[in-house]
Each structure stands twice: as structure tokens, then as C-alpha cells.
Structure 1
Amino acid sequence: MRLLDSAVSARTAWVLRALSVLLPLAAWQALSASGLVNPTFLPSPAAVWAAGADMAACGELWSDLVASLGRIGLGFALAVLISVPLGFAMGALPWAQSLAEPLIGLLRYLPASAFIPLLIIWLGIGEASKVALLVLGVVFFNTLMTADVVRRVPRRLLEVSATLGARRLRVAFRVVFPYALPGVIDAMRVNAAAAWNFVVVAELIAATSGLGYRITRAQRFLQTDRIFAILVVIGLIGLAIDILLRVLRARIGRWAA
């Protein structure tokens, strides 16, 4: 049996998943308990839990989480609404690829954070500039990844559809899009993580709410336990979004490998 063909049982898989979390947590606890690192720089898991519970009890955590989720939801939704149709056109139409890919390929190498001064000048320091930064950080990569997925649709499916007399528009919506949809969702999973990175960056500048804003406030007073607590929350929310997208992909794309 080849190495890549080997599999583990469901029970073993769950044990390995648990160990992937418990082992780093145990190492963290051991390091903080050893006294080798100042608690100001590396608080214990118990201290982080207490800080998170304190922020939740006073309502700070929930209000900041709602603010960040609102920006993520709007910015990511706009990026998807732009990138998926554009990427689909680039993947399905050679002329669209030739027209759009050079510009998008150039823009994706420009750091989105470098646009912050311009966004503040153009849109001010309110919500619009923060949402725009999210869109810029996601839209170009998601467009190119969507185009790659569409281009991987097997040519035999297109040939069979043409042989059966299907028109191009019907082939696009009844064959190409359903086949590519699981891959499009996979691209969204990857870029959802990027969206979280950019929302934190956006909230570090001229914000009065959000998880990134709360990290900045905690940094001013060396409240590293609060910083760690917020990072844990971001990781858990990101994991939940990833799981939801995985479930969605599994439900609508059972035929995909």
C-alpha cells in the first residue's frame, strides 16, 4: 500500500485532533509555570481565560466581536460578489482572461495595507475605509483562484454538453458553475482567513471598536493576557467559519473529490 493511500480510523483521527490542541496547550502551561518567562510577556492559560471572562462579563468582548464580524461580513461579501463573477468570466472566456488578468495579477502584489493612507484620504476614518481595505485584501486573490477553478472543469463535460445541443449560456450555468462551485467555496475558505488579518489591521488605525482596536488598547497597558484572549477568540471564530464552509462544500459538491 502506498503511503498516500494509508488512512486512519475516525476514532484515531479525533484523538489526533485533540492532541494537536492539547499538546501545545500543555507546553504553554509548562513554560508559563516554569518561571522562565516573565508572566507579563507570556501569561498562563488560566490568566488568559480569566482575562477573556472578564472582558465577556463587562460586555467589551461581545461589542468588539459584533463590530469586527460586521466589518468582516460586509467586506468579505462585497469581495465575493465582485470576485466570483469576474473570476468565472476569466476562467470561462479567453477574451476576459486576456483583458483582466494582467491588471489583476499586478494589483494582487500591492499590499492592501499600503492603501490605508489613500483610503483614509478618499473615504475618511469611518467604516467605509475599513470595509474597503477588506475588499482590497481579498478580491484580487479570490478572483484569480476562482478563475483557476473554472479553468479546471474537464473539457469532456463541455464537449458532451455541446454534442447534446446545449447553448453556451446553458453550459455555463448548468455544467461549468455547478462543477466549479466546490472549488470556489474552497477559495473562499482560504481568503476568509485573509479577511480576518485585514480587519485586525484596519481596526488598529482610527477605530473605536473591534477586536483589533481592543488589542491596541491592551498593548498600551501591557495587558498581554487580554491580547492572548482576543487572539484565541479570533482563532475560534475563524475555525467556526472554516467548518461552516467545509460543511457547505460537502453538501453542494458531493461529486467533487
Structure 2
Amino acid sequence: MPGHPFRLRELFRLRKEIPKPVYTASGFVLPAVLILLWWAVVQAGLIRPLFLPGPGAVLSEGWRQLEKGILLSDAAVSIYRIVAGWLAATIIAVPVGILMGNFRIFEGLLSPLVSTLRYVPVVALIPLTILWAGIGDGQKILILFIGTFFSQVLMIMDNVKNIDVSLIRAGQTLGFSNAEILRRIILPAAAPAIWDTFRITIGWTWTYLVVAELVAASDGLGRRIMDAQRYMATQTILFGTLFIGLLGLITDWLFKKIGQRLFRWNEGRR
């Protein structure tokens, strides 16, 4: 009812919608509590700054990098590698996943190989990727590609397979060709789920950044973290890690907002 007062117990009702300001504000509560606890632990001297520097020291390190131009330079390089690696994986994963989701022969042919390779530890492939692609950006992009591609293929396959088969049968009854069914029925129906897969997998790509910049990199956010490890500069390690997480969060938010605009017709089904 309009004007009906919101009660606290309604926050804990199963699948109950809550006011948007309450929903948004709640996302800041836990981080604020953790930061306050972090500050209190350091101020009380329970942990030495060498092992856990305070929030102030971490912010000071971030400001130092920003003033010297290090932060923006490293971020630009890392974002380029992330985008290039994710795009390369996506451009190939989409058609392969669609084929596997629509044709059992392709699923039978490719699924065992793809399912096996997605469990291969990416860090173990660093020596091979250096041998194949050298030590330039190509090697970093290849690591990000490998870390993203195989799981993305399987997720897109599932996105396509989850389409109601009765829609496909209806298209066949109307005399649509395979290409028409794909273009007019399958892809529009699967598009919101595929977009969510994009959003999830670009997050995975961010998690592989430090691995990609582990060896033979002279710049990048991951490289900065690895260099700081040598000198036990824990404030630099913490800042770099948190900054990568922040960039990943911004990327996730952008994908979410773009998806809401592209697929407004699907909002009621989520």
C-alpha cells in the first residue's frame, strides 16, 4: 500500500523487495565495520605495521603513487591487458559456446577437452607462454586469455542450452532455418544470460592480472605488487590489491548498468 511504513523485520523476508536507499546503504556497512576494526587493531598495537599497516599508511601510499604518476600509468597498462585478454577470449568463446550449446556433436567433440583445460593452473603455463609469445604484452594477454576462455565457453554453452526448447520447436514448425532460429529465437532469448557471463568472466580476468604480470613485466599494477613483495613494502601490496579490487568492482558495476539498459524487458524475470 502507498505510504505503508517500512518495518525492520521486512529486511529478512524471503525474496522481499526493500527500499533502494536501504539496499544501497547496506553495501557500505560491512566495509566500514571492517575498516574500523582494521584501524583499531593497528592502533592498539596488536599487529606490527610490517605485517598489517594501518588504513592511513595504505592511503598515503596510494596518494604517493598518484602524485608521481605511477598509479595512472600502471592502471592504464593493466586495463589495456585486461581488455585485450578478455576480448580475445570472448570473441572466440561466444561462437564456440553457441555451437556447443546447440549441436550435440560439437558438445561431444569439444566438451571433454575444454572441461579438462579449464582446470589447468594458469601459473604453471607461464614458462610455455614466454616460449610461445616472448616477454611482451602478448604473453600477458595470452595468460589472461587462457585464464578466461575455457570457463567462458562452458558458461555460454549452458546459457544457450537453458533456452526453452519449445521456442526452438515453434521456429521449426514455422519453417525457420537453423540460421533463422539462431538469429531470431536463440540469441535474443540467451542474450541477458550471456551478458551476465561476460560480467562474471571479466571479473575472473581481473583476478589473473597479478599472475599475468608475474614474470618479465616492467609495469602494471600486478608488477608493482610483486616488486613490493621483495622489499616487504606491505602498504604497497595492500594498496595495489585493494585498488585492483576497486577497478574490478567498477567494471562489474558498468556491466550491470549496461545490461539493465540493454535488457530492460528481462528485468521482471530476474
What's the TM-score bracket when you normalise by the shorter of the two chains? over 0.9
Distance (whole Å) between structure 2 residues aligned to residue 88 and residue 228 of structure 1: 40
Distance (whole Å) between structure 2 residues aligned to residue 111 and residue 255 of structure 1: 39
Distance (whole Å) between structure 2 residues aligned to residue 112 and residue 217 of structure 1: 21
Superimposed CA distance per residue, residues 134-179 of structure 1 (whole angstroms, 9 cap, x where no aligned partner): 1111100000000000000011211222233322211101111111
Q: Residues 21-40 of structure 1: matches in 2 within 5 Å?
A: 21-40=31-50
Counterpart of 1:230?
240
TM, length-normalised to structure 1: 0.95
Give the letter aligned to residue 187 of structure 1: T
Superimposed CA distance per residue, residues 61-83 of structure 1 (whole angstroms, 9 cap, x where no aligned partner): 11111111111111110000011
After the TM superposition, list the runs of 4 or more consecutive aligned residues in structure 1 that deviate by more than 3 angstroms.
none
- The size of the alignment, in residue pairs, is 257
User: Could you tell me which of 92, 108, 119 is aligned with 2:129?
Assistant: 119
User: Could you tell me which of 78, 90, 114 is aligned with 2:100?
Assistant: 90
Query: C-alpha displacement at 1:47, in angstroms?
Result: 1.0
Counterpart of 2:114?
104
Counterpart of 1:60?
70
Distance (whole Å) between structure 2 residues aligned to residue 8 and residue 151 of structure 1: 33
Counterpart of 2:185?
175
Q: For the aligned residues, what is the CA RMSD?
A: 1.6
Distance (whole Å) between structure 1 residues aligned to residue 232 and residue 119 of structure 2: 34
User: Could you tell me which of 179, 195, 200 is aligned with 2:205?
Assistant: 195
Percent identity over paired residues: 35
Counterpart of 2:223?
213
Superimposed CA distance per residue, residues 169-206 of structure 1 (whole angstroms, 9 cap, x where no aligned partner): 11101111111111112112222122112221121211
Superimposed CA distance per residue, residues 84-122 of structure 1 (whole angstroms, 9 cap, x where no aligned partner): 110011001111111111111111111122111111122
Instruction: Confirm or deny that 1:69 pairs with 2:69.
Output: no
Instruction: Confirm or deny that 1:7 pairs with 2:32.
Output: no
- Unpaired stretches in structure 1, ≥5 consecutive residues: none
- Unpaired stretches in structure 2, ≥5 consecutive residues: 1-9
Change (3 A) 1:3 1:44: same
Superimposed CA distance per residue, residues 31-50 of structure 1 (whole angstroms, 9 cap, x where no aligned partner): 11111000111111111111
Counterpart of 2:174?
164
Distance (whole Å) between structure 1 residues aligned to residue 178 and residue 129 of structure 2: 40
Which of 158-167 and 236-245 deviates more? 158-167
Query: C-alpha displacement at 1:3, in angstroms?
Result: 4.4
Residue aligned with 2:264, SS: coil
Query: C-alpha displacement at 1:4, in angstroms?
Result: 2.6
Distance (whole Å) between structure 1 residues aligned to residue 58 and residue 265 of structure 2: 43
